[in-house]
């Protein structure tokens, strides 16, 4: 049992991290009042950009440096692409769900279109991704050291740091106060002199940058190549956002749960203990649980009140 | 004189046409950007979809499932629901049709009736879950539909190899017999061996049925009342919950029939591991068609043309076929931001009046 | 003379309508200046211009004698102008302090310094006698308290010129008293106030001067002390206003609606909105239900019409127990309902007027048969209502409901409900937000129904409306029946006290 847990734990964490950072992006966007179902597409954009940068740079510089530059580019590209969604939702009062769908479709089609111009097949392989490393000293701690600090990706610590920072920004800074006000009652924020458009733009661009980073991390830790899709992880991040009730610590728990559940489903065929459970049950488990959670939270939902509603200045 | 003509053209049509034009322009820019000639690209794209009877047939065949998924999403929109679950409904409906086609032995007309009905039922079942959750627990249908898409994906992923494994590949079902296929000899012959099939007629019939339901029936009146203003509908004694579930079931059934056309008409088997993009494309079809049945028909044929011509374009030029998907996605974006176009039109009008 | 605000010859046009036409308003330092006008007269537009939400097309604004250009609310804030909006602009899950500092957060390092802000809020609250807890969450405090938070928001921003937009609409009589005390305190501390209202009584109670506008035009500025209510009303409406409605004496008949100890849960979790409520409404009478907003009226009406389940008790129509009937079954049993919010419940705004006129009866013959609609029959029926009830719409029954003015939308609803020929007509706030012409018209149609022997349950927050129309008046407080009085032998004071929960005789 212990060896089993010790074996799957690093995989579960690796799977959790891109979900977590993407979900945190969604949190910023929705807390500001903009629903963003384009997370999936923004992850694809990040994965593509990361792949193309790393593919180009790895032959000419240290592979590690190339990976980090690729991740930075992924975040930037996600942020830039998210401006499309921000413009539609914030300036044009578009239906945010439709705009998000358009983002998903555009990202899927456009990146493969561009990738084909580079490699022909539309897939972009990278020479190598990020290496796993032990954290010095901490990995010596019994049990915990083995689970959390042995053979970890540096991106895991980066994302956890961003999560902590995100929590601080949302709850302790004036931007956070304004962000939450815009998501709950934008007219109140506006009448208090807050520039609702600006707050929302920043939040949506952040959501794009985080999702892009998520796509990039997926590429350099798990996938190893760009294939034109992130297999529904963006949608799962969206589910985690709801499951985590739009709170940073909540989504940490939700994504960890999804990470563990998905990892178990993926490795079940080689683990005797799990073999008895049909694969399909393990695979649909996270989605079913989300449906149940949606029902359970339906009465006491903490969803931002103004999420999804276009905001027009001067209209009461 | 000119003004009176301008007034007769509905604003939705102008907006849709402009969205198409903007999408095509964006596509041209992408072609230019990647070093290709857009004029050549578009001419091969159109030729690829129209230059022979067979290709014309293929265009219509590609359009057929899009008519159904477009109707599915338009129908849900009319009831105030966003059915982003169409991909899952297509997949599960198509799976049901395939299952019937592979396991029932009956004369062709009866078998087709059975398989298409099974697809409709399967789609309706898949649509009913988000409908029920919305009605009973006020769970947003978008999120629950997305979950249902993935559940359909994995259920089919495991069910096909387990029960209907193909003879060579693990990743697809057995081929269905000609007797169970929506393809019919006279149509194939008429279109020079195209894979066009009865799905086209199913689509056209569905357009009329949906238009009739929405505009002429008590059911349509109730559904639209709930869609436009559920509080007023409730006030007037119209059961909001019943209509939401019903709308999602009908919407799901339409998408499910689209699945039957895809897997037992246009194709002859079901491949696993692929989310049917026709489900998402239905959103574009519906939006571009201003959520009206006849608009859906027109825009489905347009998208059918883009899709069936892209292969030929790719063969004749260096332009990757994904340009078609890119154009469609761009069109949705412009349809979603129609305010931009409307504002532009208003400005134009005011300028003209000023002169 | 010292003027803190001068708005001179202001003009503002919206597409198709002149909202403000050459309006002048001058606010003296240290006065309460009322801005009086009907709904839609242009009061809000004028104040939005002063607050920087709109720009005037023509005219001048001076603050403290200097020409200013107020391009957005931030400029207004800097000039010391603050506004208490009619619909409070408060974030429900924020604390009082967080709401007040939003947009102007004091910082310590990178963090917001909530602690010192809360201290300052407490000080201000004490200085002006507002009695507000800085750490309470907005969703947990009363409406009156929320309004004080709005006032604190202005004081925190050092506003000297305070605009109150219809501040009493949501308050209990006691809270209105308190508010007036607060306003006088503010004046004492050197502030100046503009009070937007259409209630003459309040103007008489607190205002020094009053500027009247009508249909976007400036009518005049008067001294409140030397002007009678009737004079101000005439300035506001443009003709003599009858304060009472003519209605012949009539013996009430059989009981139509009977409520027997009805209890209803509130829309908020766990609270009971209506407790053991018993009432009878008879043929040929208007029974007015008076109460302060949020005391259970809405829930009671929802329980009668079936929009809400009852917890206990029974509801009878013509002696038939309808407690478990569906909404449609109740409509078919003879209940018609003019809803509180005409745009939310009353109309499907995207349907045509024709389609809206059969909202409850589309499934009856001749409007439909075997599941198919008969558009001709629907149009013909709607045509009749539009003509009978003077509904003015560009394209008649083919007009989309959204395109009609509020008054015409309401007339269409009233027409539709009366045309149902119900035994019981429930009219909730039937004239809210309408101009005087439409109000008088709807009142006369309600009286006509009473005279024809219908039972009418009138629910209104406007005490004058209840007093003028009703034969009997039931008063509700905290979901309980305080008492029932004859309209003929009561007055505003008595009902006001009962609305506050004080029973008849308690005061003697």
* 3 state SS of C106: coil
Q: What's the pLDDT at B355?
A: 47
Q: Which residues of C178-216 are buried (b: 16+ CB within 10 A; e: fewer)?
A: bbbebbeebbeeebbbbbbbbbbebbbebbbbbbbbbbb
Closest residue in chain B to residue A279, using alpha carbons only: B158
Confidence at residue C508, expressed as pLDDT on a 0 to 100 scale: 46
Q: What is the mean pLDDT of residues A12-36?
A: 95
On chain B, the residues whose CB falls within 8 A of the CB of A104 are 280
Minimum Cα–Cα distance from B82: chain A residue: A97
B18 contact partners, CB below 8 Å, separation of at least 6: B334, B341
Beta bridge partners of C287: C457, C472
Q: Which of A188, A196, A298, A300 to mutate to test the interface with C (most CBs of C within 10 A)?
A: A188
Per-residue pLDDT averaged across A74-103, rounded? Answer: 93
User: Which of the residues C326, C332, C346, C359 would you substitute to probe the B interface, choosing the one with the greatest number of B C-beta atoms within 10 Å?
Assistant: C359
Asked whether the predicted pLDDT for residue C244 surpasses 90, the reply is no
Separation between Cα atoms, residue C175 and residue C178, nearest integer Å: 5
Interface contacts (A, C; CB < 8 Å): 62
Is residue C76 within 8 A of residue C70, CB to CB? The reply is yes
The structural domains of chain A, with segments of one domain joined by +, span: 2-232
Least confident span in A197-201, A231-235, B242-246, C148-152: A231-235
Tokens read off for A48: 């593509």
CB atoms within 10 A of CB B302: 22
The pLDDT tens digits of the residues spanning C404-442 come to 888 889 999 999 999 999 999 999 999 887 777 788 888
A113 touches chain B (CB under 8 A): yes
Measure CB to CB from residue B218 to each of C307, C344, C362 and give the nearest one.
C362
Residues of C in contact with A181 (CB under 8 A): 91, 94, 102
Is residue A117 scored above 90 in pLDDT? no
Q: Kind and range of the H or E element at C260? A: strand C255-265
**Which of B326, B328, B331, B342 to probe by mutation at the A interface, max A CB count within 10 Å?**
B326
Give tens-digit pLDDT for A138-157.
878 887 777 788 788 999 99
pLDDT at C154 over 60: yes
Which residues in chain C touch residue B238, judged by CB atoms under 8 angstroms apart? Answer: 328
| Contact A298/C at CB under 8 A | no
Q: Could you tell me which chain A residue has the CA closest to the CA of B132?
A: A295
Q: What is the mean pLDDT of residues A283-291?
A: 88
CA distances for A221 relative to A12, A51, A53, A67, A236, angstroms: 12, 12, 16, 10, 18
Taking contacts as CB-CB distances below 8 angstroms, the residues of chain B near C345 are: 231-232, 234-235
Q: Which of C54, C77, C111 sits opposite A172 (nearest CB)?
A: C111
Q: Residues of B with CB below 8 A from C373's CB?
A: 216-218, 220-221
The structural domains of chain C, ordered by start, are 3-237 (3.40.50.300), 243-334+424-508 (3.40.50.300), 343-421 (no CATH)
CA distance to partner chain A, nearest, from residue C106 (Å): 9
Find the DSSP H helices in chain A.
2-31, 39-57, 63-86, 96-119, 144-148, 154-172, 174-184, 186-191, 196-218, 233-243, 248-267, 272-275, 279-297
Q: pLDDT band at C494, cuts 50/70/90?
A: confident
pLDDT for res C268: 64
% of chain C surpassing 70 pLDDT: 97
Q: Which two structure tokens, joined as six digits, stand for A260?
A: 């563990």
CA distance A304 to chain C (A): 10
Contacts of A298 in chain B (CB under 8 A): 137-139
Q: Which residues pair with C157 in a beta bridge?
A: none
Our CA-based measurement puts residue B199 at a distance from the nearest CA of chain A, in whole angstroms, of: 25
Per-block average pLDDT, block size 10, for chain B (355 residues)? 51 87 93 91 93 94 97 94 95 97 94 97 98 92 92 94 85 91 93 93 97 95 95 95 96 98 94 91 91 95 93 90 90 83 77 61
Q: Which residue of A has its CA nearest to C75?
A: A193
A3 has a chain C CB within 8 A of its CB:
no
Residue found under tokens 């940058």: A209
**With an 8 Å Cβ cutoff, are A191 and C83 in contact?**
yes
d(Cα C464, Cα C41) in Å, to the nearest integer?
21
State the nearest Cα–Cα gap between A316 and chain C, in angstroms.
Answer: 9
More confident residue, C507 or B54: B54
Nearest Cβ partner for C89 among A172, A177, A188? A188
CB contact under 8 A, B325 and A105: yes
Given an 8 Å threshold on Cβ–Cβ distance, is C102 in contact with A173?
no
**Chain A nearest C-alpha distance from C309 (Å):** 18
Domains of chain B, each with CATH number or no CATH: 12-354 (1.10.3470)
pLDDT given for residue B237 in this prediction: 95
Using one digit for the tens of pLDDT, what is the confidence trace for C181-221? 999 999 998 999 999 988 888 899 999 999 999 988 999 99
Question: Residue B8, class by beta-carbon neighbours within 10 Å (0-12 exposed, 13-18 middle, 19+ buried)?
Answer: exposed
- Ranking A69-83, B76-90, C270-284 by mean pLDDT, the lowest is C270-284
End-to-end CA distance of chain A: 60
pLDDT value at residue A316: 37
Cβ pair C373:B217 closer than 8 A: yes
Question: What is chain C's mean pLDDT, rounded?
Answer: 90
Mean pLDDT of C288-294: 87
- End-to-end Cα, chain B, rounded Å: 16
Cβ atoms A82, A38 nearer than 8 A: yes
User: What residue in B sits closest to A238 (Cα-Cα)?
Assistant: B143
Nearest to A174 among C48, C73, C105 (CB): C105
Q: How confident is the model at residue C225 (pLDDT cuts 50, 70, 90)?
A: very high
The verdict on B231 touching C (C-beta cutoff 8 Å) is yes
The predicted pLDDT at position C308 comes to 92
Question: What pLDDT sits at residue A282?
Answer: 87
C73, A191: Cβ pair inside 8 Å?
yes
Q: Using a CB–CB cutoff of 8 Å, tell me whether C345 touches chain B.
A: yes
Joined together, the tokens standing for residue B65 give 């499932």
Cβ-Cβ contacts under 8 Å between A and B: the total is: 133
- pLDDT value of residue B1: 38
* Chain center to CA of C451: 27
Q: Kindly state whether A93 is in contact with chain B, defined as any CB-CB distance less than 8 angstroms.
A: yes
């Amino acid at each position: 049992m212990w060896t089993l847990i010790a074996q799957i734990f690093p995989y579960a964490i690796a799977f959790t991290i891109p979900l977590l950072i993407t979900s945190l992006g969604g949190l910023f966007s929705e807390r500001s009042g903009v629903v963003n179902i384009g997370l999936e597409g923004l992850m694809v954009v990040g994965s593509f950009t990361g792949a193309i940068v790393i593919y180009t740079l790895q032959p000419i510089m240290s592979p590690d440096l190339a990976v980090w530059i690729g991740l930075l580019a992924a975040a930037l590209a996600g942020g830039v692409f998210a401006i499309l969604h921000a413009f539609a939702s914030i300036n044009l009062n578009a239906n945010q769900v439709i705009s998000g769908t358009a983002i998903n479709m555009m990202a899927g089609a456009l990146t493969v279109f561009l990738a084909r111009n580079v490699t022909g097949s539309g897939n972009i392989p990278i020479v190598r991704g990020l290496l796993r490393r032990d954290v010095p000293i901490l990995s010596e701690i019994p049990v915990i050291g083995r689970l959390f600090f042995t053979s970890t990706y540096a991106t895991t610590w980066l994302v956890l740091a961003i999560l902590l920072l995100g929590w601080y920004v949302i709850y302790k800074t004036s931007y956070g106060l304004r962000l939450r006000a815009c998501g709950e009652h934008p007219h109140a924020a506006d009448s208090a002199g807050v520039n609702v458009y600006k707050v929302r733009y920043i939040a949506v661009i952040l959501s794009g940058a985080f999702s892009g980073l998520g796509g990039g991390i997926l590429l350099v830790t798990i996938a190893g190549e760009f294939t034109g899709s992130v297999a529904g992880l963006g949608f799962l991040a969206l589910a985690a956002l709801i499951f985590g009730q739009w709170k940073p610590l909540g989504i940490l728990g939700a994504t960890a749960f999804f990470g563990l559940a998905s990892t178990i489903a993926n490795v079940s065929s080689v683990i005797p203990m799990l073999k008895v459970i049909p694969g399909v049950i393990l695979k649909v488990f996270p989605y079913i649980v989300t449906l149940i959670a949606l029902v359970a939270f339906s009465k006491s939902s903490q969803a931002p009140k103004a999420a999804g509603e276009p905001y027009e200045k001067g209209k009461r | 004189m000119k003004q009176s003509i301008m007034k007769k053209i509905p604003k939705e049509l102008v907006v849709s046409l402009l969205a198409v034009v903007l999408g095509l322009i964006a596509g041209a820019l992408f072609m230019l950007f990647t070093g290709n000639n857009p004029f050549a690209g578009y001419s091969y794209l159109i030729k690829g979809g129209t230059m022979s009877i067979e290709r014309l047939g293929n265009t219509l065949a590609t359009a057929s499932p899009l008519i159904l998924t477009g109707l599915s999403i338009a129908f849900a929109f009319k009831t105030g629901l966003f059915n982003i679950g169409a991909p899952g409904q297509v997949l599960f409906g198509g799976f049901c049709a395939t299952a019937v086609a592979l396991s029932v032995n009956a004369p062709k007309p009866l078998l087709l009736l059975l398989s298409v009905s099974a697809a409709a039922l399967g789609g309706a079942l898949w649509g009913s879950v988000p409908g029920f959750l919305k009605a009973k627990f006020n769970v947003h249908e978008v999120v629950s539909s997305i979950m249902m898409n993935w559940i359909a994906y994995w259920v089919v992923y495991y069910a096909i190899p387990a029960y209907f494994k193909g003879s060579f590949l693990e990743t697809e079902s057995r081929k269905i017999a000609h007797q169970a296929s929506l393809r019919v000899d006279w149509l194939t012959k008429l279109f020079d061996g195209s894979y066009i099939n009865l799905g086209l007629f199913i689509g056209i019939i569905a357009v009329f049925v949906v238009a009739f339901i929405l505009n002429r029936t008590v059911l349509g009146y109730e559904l639209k009342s709930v869609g436009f203003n559920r509080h007023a509908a409730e006030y007037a004694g119209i059961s909001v919950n019943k209509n939401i579930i019903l709308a999602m079931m009908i919407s799901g059934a339409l998408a499910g029939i689209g699945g039957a056309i895809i897997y037992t008409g246009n194709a002859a088997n079901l491949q696993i591991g692929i989310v049917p993009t026709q489900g998402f494309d239905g959103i574009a079809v519906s939006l571009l068609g201003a959520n009206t049945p006849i608009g859906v028909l027109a825009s489905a044929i347009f998208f059918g043309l883009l899709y069936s011509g892209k292969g030929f374009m790719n063969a004749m030029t260096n332009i990757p076929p994904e340009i078609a998907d890119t154009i469609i996605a761009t069109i949705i974006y412009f349809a979603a931001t129609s305010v931009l176009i409307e504002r532009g039109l208003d400005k134009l009008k005011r300028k003209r009046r000023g002169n | 003379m010292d003027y803190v605000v001068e708005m001179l010859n202001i003009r503002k046009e919206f597409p198709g309508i002149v909202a403000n036409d050459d309006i002048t308003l001058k606010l003296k330092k240290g006065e309460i200046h009322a801005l009086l006008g009907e709904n839609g007269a242009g009061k809000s537009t004028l104040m939005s211009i002063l607050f920087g939400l709109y720009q005037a097309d023509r005219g001048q604004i001076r603050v403290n004698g200097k020409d200013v250009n107020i391009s957005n609310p931030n400029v207004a804030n800097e000039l010391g102008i603050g506004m208490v909006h009619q619909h409070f602009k408060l974030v429900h899950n924020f604390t009082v302090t967080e709401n007040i500092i939003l947009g102007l957060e004091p910082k310590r390092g990178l963090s917001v310094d909530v602690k010192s802000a809360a201290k300052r809020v407490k000080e201000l609250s004490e200085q002006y006698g507002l009695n507000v807890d800085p750490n309470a969450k907005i969703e947990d405090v009363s409406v009156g308290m929320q309004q004080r938070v709005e006032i604190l928001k202005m004081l925190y921003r050092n506003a000297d010129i305070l605009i109150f937009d219809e501040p009493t609409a949501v308050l209990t009589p006691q809270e209105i008293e308190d508010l007036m005390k607060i306003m006088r305190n503010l004046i004492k501390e050197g502030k100046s106030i503009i009070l937007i209202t259409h209630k003459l009584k309040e103007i008489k109670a607190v205002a020094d001067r009053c500027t009247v506008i009508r249909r976007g035009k400036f009518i005049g500025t008067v001294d409140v002390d030397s002007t009678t209510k009737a004079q101000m009303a005439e300035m506001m409406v443009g003709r003599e206003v009858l304060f009472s409605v003519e209605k012949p004496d009539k013996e009430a008949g059989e009981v139509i609606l009977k409520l027997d100890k009805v209890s209803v849960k509130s829309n908020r979790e766990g609270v009971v909105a209506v407790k053991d409520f018993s009432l009878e409404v008879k043929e040929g009478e208007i029974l007015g239900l008076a109460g302060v907003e949020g005391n259970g009226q809405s829930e009671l009406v929802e329980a009668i019409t079936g929009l809400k389940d009852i917890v206990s008790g029974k509801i009878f129509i013509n002696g038939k127990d309808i407690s478990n009937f569906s909404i449609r079954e109740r409509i078919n049993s003879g209940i018609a309902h003019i809803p509180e919010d005409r745009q939310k419940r009353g109309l499907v705004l995207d349907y045509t007027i024709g389609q809206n006129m059969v909202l409850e009866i589309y499934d009856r013959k001749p409007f439909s048969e075997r599941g198919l609609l008969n558009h001709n029959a629907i149009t013909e029926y709607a045509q009749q209502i539009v003509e009978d009830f003077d509904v003015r719409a560009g394209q008649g029954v083919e007009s989309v409901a959204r395109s009609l003015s509020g008054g015409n939308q309401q007339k269409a609803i009233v027409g539709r409900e009366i045309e149902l020929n119900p035994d019981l007509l429930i009219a909730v706030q039937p004239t809210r937000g309408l101009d005087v012409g439409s109000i008088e018209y709807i009142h006369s149609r309600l009286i006509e129904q009473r005279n024809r022997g219908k039972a009418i349950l009138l629910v209104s927050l406007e005490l004058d409306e209840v007093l003028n129309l009703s034969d009997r008046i039931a008063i509700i407080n905290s979901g309980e029946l305080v008492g029932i009085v004859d309209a003929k032998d009561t007055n505003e004071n008595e009902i006001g006290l009962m609305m506050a929960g004080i029973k008849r005789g308690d005061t003697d």
